[in-house]
């Protein structure tokens, strides 16, 4: 896991409301994006849950 995050990353983590370890695992390809996480990402980044699920399936 990364030991530091920049200010924008911390804002996103706070907005998503998910544990840092989960986000780090997704970024590093150790975890997939669940439907629930896709909804949280969609709300935080003003996209659709489908966008995140499709992105994860690649």
User: What CATH number is attached to the domain comprising 18?
Assistant: 1.10.260.40
* 30, part of any domain: yes
Burial class (CB in 10 A: 0-12, 13-18, 19+), 49: middle
Q: What is the pLDDT of residue 5?
A: 59
Domain count, the chain: 1
Q: How far apart are CA 51 and CA 14, in angstroms?
A: 21
* 2, part of any domain: no
Q: What is the pLDDT of residue 4?
A: 59
Which tens digit of pLDDT belongs to each residue from 1-55? 445 556 776 677 777 888 888 888 888 889 999 999 999 888 888 899 999 999 8
* 36, part of any domain: yes
* 25, part of any domain: yes
* 41, part of any domain: yes
Q: What is the pLDDT of residue 9?
A: 67
Q: What is the pLDDT of residue 25?
A: 85
Which domain range does residue 31 map to?
7-56
Q: What is the pLDDT of residue 1?
A: 47
């Amino acid at each position: 896991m990364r030991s530091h995050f920049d200010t924008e990353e911390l804002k996103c983590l706070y907005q998503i409301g998910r544990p840092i370890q989960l986000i780090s695992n997704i970024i590093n390809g150790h975890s997939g994006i669940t439907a629930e996480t896709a909804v949280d990402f969609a709300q935080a980044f003003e996209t659709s849950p489908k966008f995140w699920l499709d992105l994860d399936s690649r």
